[in-house]
């Protein structure tokens, strides 16, 4: 029987830093809708951007290096499929895992358009890992900041990859761009950690031989409808549509080319 993944000091620091992003109870109680939902429309736009605009980036290159012709890909936290759809070809099978039924439907529609075989598994990772077979390459884009127990999560990614795991995350927390809006609207200073470097520290203390590469890419949006972006931001900030004009102004001009630091992290599977 395999030994359980090792709990590390870096993992404890990661968990504690993520806990600092909790929204104060009184603000959540006054929110017109739960703040942590996601819009399938925004993730569909992100996948389209990955297929047509952002076609050469470290995450795609590192996945393709390890993916054989006709190979299989598991995309954990698949969203609209931005991490896996650009790997067709050579991939001939895509497996998407996501908690959201709408996300899985968006991913499935994208896979159908590419004419590639696909399977959807609804649930959280690693809770549903037992329902998923090993594949050649596992990809996981912009999920780690939602994962308190990073050790168990990464261990399950590793055990499902015959060749390689490729993870992409933003250099800082994905909602850190909203910190000025939290200050303007609620008068609250939001955290500045954890960072991508903190994630690397957890993986290294697990004993994984990780490599990583930094690059820049646009903040969220990727050509999505401005109204959808404002609505998602409003939801994150726990306010109603009456603040939309203010939020729209605070987000800055539509189409403004703002870049964020991102990181691709990869390591070998257990084979």
What pLDDT does 224 receive? 60
Average pLDDT of span 194-203: 97
Phi-psi region of 89 (alpha: psi -120 to 50; beta: other; left: phi over 0): beta
Q: What is the pLDDT of residues 17-70, one digit of tens each?
A: 999 999 999 999 999 999 987 778 778 888 998 899 888 999 999 999 999 999
Measure the CA angle with vertex 264, ends 263 and 268; round to 5°: 145
Whole-structure pTM value: 0.90
Give strand ranges (E) for the chain: 72-76, 93-98, 117-122, 135-141, 161-170, 211-218, 259-268
**Amino acid 271: pLDDT:** 60
Counting Cα atoms < 13 Å in the Cβ hemisphere of 10 gives 16
Write the CB contacts of 11 (distance below 8 Å, at least 6 apart in sequence).
Answer: 149, 150, 151, 202, 205
Give the integer Cα–Cα distance in Å for 166 and 125.
16
Closest Cα partner for 179 from 210, 219, 206?
A: 219
Residue 2 has pLDDT above 50, yes or no: no
pLDDT at 1: 40
pLDDT at 260: 87
Contacts of 49 (CB under 8 A, 6+ apart): 82, 222, 223
Distance from the Cα of residue 236 to its chain's centroid: 16
Give the pLDDT of residue 24.
Answer: 94
Report the alpha-carbon distance of residue 245 to residue 178 in Å, rounded: 16
Average model confidence (pLDDT) across the chain: 92
């Amino acid at each position: 029987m395999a030994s359980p993944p090792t709990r590390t000091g870096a993992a404890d620091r990661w968990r504690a830093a993520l806990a600092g992003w909790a929204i104060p109870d009184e603000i959540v109680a006054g929110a017109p809708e739960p703040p942590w939902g996601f819009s399938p429309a925004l993730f569909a736009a992100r996948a389209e951007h990955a297929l047509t605009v952002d076609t050469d980036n470290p995450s795609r290159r590192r996945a393709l290096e390890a993916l054989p012709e006709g190979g299989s890909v598991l995309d954990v936290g698949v969203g609209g499929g931005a991490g896996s759809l650009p790997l067709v070809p050579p991939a001939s099978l895509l497996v998407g895992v996501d908690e959201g039924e709408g996300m899985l439907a968006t991913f499935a529609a994208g896979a159908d358009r590419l004419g590639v075989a696909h399977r959807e598994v609804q649930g959280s990772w690693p809770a549903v890992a037992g329902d998923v077979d090993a594949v050649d390459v596992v990809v996981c884009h912009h999920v780690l900041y939602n994962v308190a127990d990073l050790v168990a999560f990464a261990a399950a990614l590793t055990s499902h990859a015959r060749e390689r795991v490729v993870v992409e995350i933003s250099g800082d927390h994905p909602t850190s761009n909203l910190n000025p809006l939290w200050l303007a609207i609620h008068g609250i200073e939001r955290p500045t950690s954890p960072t991508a470097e903190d994630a690397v520290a957890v993986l290294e203390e697990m004993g994984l031989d990780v490599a990583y590469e930094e690059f820049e890419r646009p903040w969220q949006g990727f050509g999505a409808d401005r109204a959808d972006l404002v609505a998602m931001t409003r939801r994150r900030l726990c306010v109603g549509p009456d603040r939309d004009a203010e939020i729209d102004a605070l987000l800055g001009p539509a189409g403004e080319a703002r870049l964020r630091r991102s990181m691709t992290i990869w390591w070998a599977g257990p084979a």
